[in-house]
């Protein structure tokens, strides 16, 4: 099975690296990139061929679209004439519905919409997949197997993809933002930046492992840290006073609305 990744930017390169790390033969992979210097650098690093979108469309069994949603029209125009209705098309693009691809590609084209995230780079992606009209269970299985090499996969109805995008697609950015803010707090308290960073990053990794491995609800884990009359409850009170929970609800809702907007721009 040959796979072409269209747009080897942040998420496209993460997938390329992850697939190779997961055992794919670089000879079965190709990518497209607009700038020759970037393409040459990727070829040198991964041993994968850079090609034009037209060649990728004509030769690959699976096309994975990883360009920004704003760039999709040019890609569809280049693909249209070069794919057959049998090529499996996988979209990683926020907001873009499978119907957009189905309308612009040959009749019967199987399309699977995916929302991955960047922890793919370390084999810890969370990806959600949804079939378009012509994607069969077999197509979904192909995509699921590909993504299992770089992390976890869930299947969701397509109408949940904007919410997924807001939660796990953008999610790593919220955690990084939190870590950044906590390191700044360490600076405020007079700690050297390197020490503050080590304290917070290890606390983040340890907390994530506890969430995954203990099977406990986050509330129970937080309560176990929160001693009566102690330090943690003093901090939690400030988080509540500053509306941090409400800020997360509003922020994630805004991300969902933006995902839906990106889709509407291409209807
Ligand atoms: N970053 C993330 O965490 C996630 C991103 N996504 C989705 O993945 C997609 C890519 O995002 P991201 O990787 O962040 O963006 P990037 O801008 O890093 O990557 C997009 C890449 O596509 C290239 N490109 C654009 N048009 C073409 C074209 N016509 N032919 C070939 N290459 C092209 C761009 O080149 P150039 O640099 O020249 O513009 C760029 O290298 C988006 O649709 C996004 O919604 C999904 C989940 C998570
Ligand atoms: O910010 C974005 O639009 C993309 C989609 C999800 C994560 N990054």
Domain boundaries, given as residue ranges, for the chain: 3-158, 171-262
Q: Is the CB of 91 under 6 A from ligand 2?
A: no
- Residue-wise pLDDT for 101-115, tens only, equals 999 999 999 999 999
Distance 68 CA to ligand 2 centre (A): 9
Selection from 34, 31, 52, 53 nearest residue 42 by Cα: 31
pLDDT number for residue 30: 97
- Residue-wise pLDDT for 133-165, tens only, equals 999 999 999 999 999 999 999 999 999 999 999
95 alpha carbon, closest ligand = 1
Q: Give the CATH H-level superfamily of domain 171-262.
A: ProC C-terminal domain-like (1.10.3730.10)
Count CB neighbours of 238 within 10 A.
Answer: 9
Q: What is the mean pLDDT of the chain?
A: 96
Distance 212 CA to ligand 1 centre (A): 30
135 marked among binding-site residues = no
Ligand 2 atom 1: residue of nearest CA: 170
Phi then psi for residue 149, to 5 deg, are -75, -15
Instruction: Summarize the confidence of residues 244-250 as an average pLDDT.
Output: 98
Distance 1 CA to ligand 1 centre (A): 23
Q: How far apart are CA 247 and CA 62, in angstroms?
A: 40
Instruction: Summarize the confidence of residues 239-246 as an average pLDDT.
Output: 98
pTM: 0.96
ipTM above 0.95, yes or no: yes
| Contact residues for 24 (Cβ-Cβ < 8 A; gap 6+) | 3, 149
CATH of 3-158, one of 3.40.50.720, 3.30.1390.10, 1.10.230.10, 3.40.50.360: 3.40.50.720
The answer to whether 255 and 117 have CB atoms below 8 angstroms apart is no
Beta strand 125-131 pairing with 111-115: antiparallel
Q: Is the CB of 116 under 6 A from ligand 1?
A: yes
- Residue-wise pLDDT for 5-45, tens only, equals 999 999 999 999 999 988 899 999 999 999 999 999 999 99
68 marked among binding-site residues = yes
User: Is 267's pLDDT higher than 80?
Assistant: no
| Percent of the chain residues past pLDDT 90, beyond the cut | 95
Q: Is the CB of 57 under 6 A from ligand 1?
A: no
């Amino acid at each position: 099975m040959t796979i072409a990744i269209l747009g080897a930017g942040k998420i496209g390169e993460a997938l390329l690296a992850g697939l190779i790390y997961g055992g794919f033969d670089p000879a079965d992979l190709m990518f497209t990139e607009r700038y020759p210097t970037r393409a040459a650098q990727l070829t040198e690093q991964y041993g994968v061929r850079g090609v034009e979108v037209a060649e990728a469309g004509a030769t690959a069994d699976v096309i994975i679209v990883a360009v920004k949603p704003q760039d999709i029209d040019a890609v569809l125009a280049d693909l249209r004439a070069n794919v057959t209705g049998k090529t499996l098309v996988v979209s990683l693009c926020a907001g873009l519905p499978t119907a957009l691809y189905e309308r612009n590609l040959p009749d019967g084209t199987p399309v699977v919409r995916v929302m991955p995230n960047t922890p793919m780079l370390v084999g810890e992606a969370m990806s959600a997949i949804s079939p378009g009209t012509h994607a069969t269970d077999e197509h979904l299985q192909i995509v699921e197997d590909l993504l299992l090499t770089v992390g976890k996969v869930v299947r969701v109805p397509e109408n949940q993809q904007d919410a997924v995008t807001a939660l796990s697609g953008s999610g790593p950015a919220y955690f990084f933002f939190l870590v950044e803010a906590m390191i700044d707090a360490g600076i405020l308290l007079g700690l050297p930046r390197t020490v503050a960073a080590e304290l917070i990053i290890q606390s983040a990794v340890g907390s994530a492992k506890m969430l995954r491995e203990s099977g406990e609800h986050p509330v129970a884990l937080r309560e176990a840290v929160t001693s009566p009359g102690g330090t943690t409850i003093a901090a939690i009170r400030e988080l509540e006073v500053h509306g941090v929970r409400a800020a997360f609800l509003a922020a994630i809702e805004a991300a969902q609305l933006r995902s839906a907007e990106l889709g509407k721009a291409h209807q």
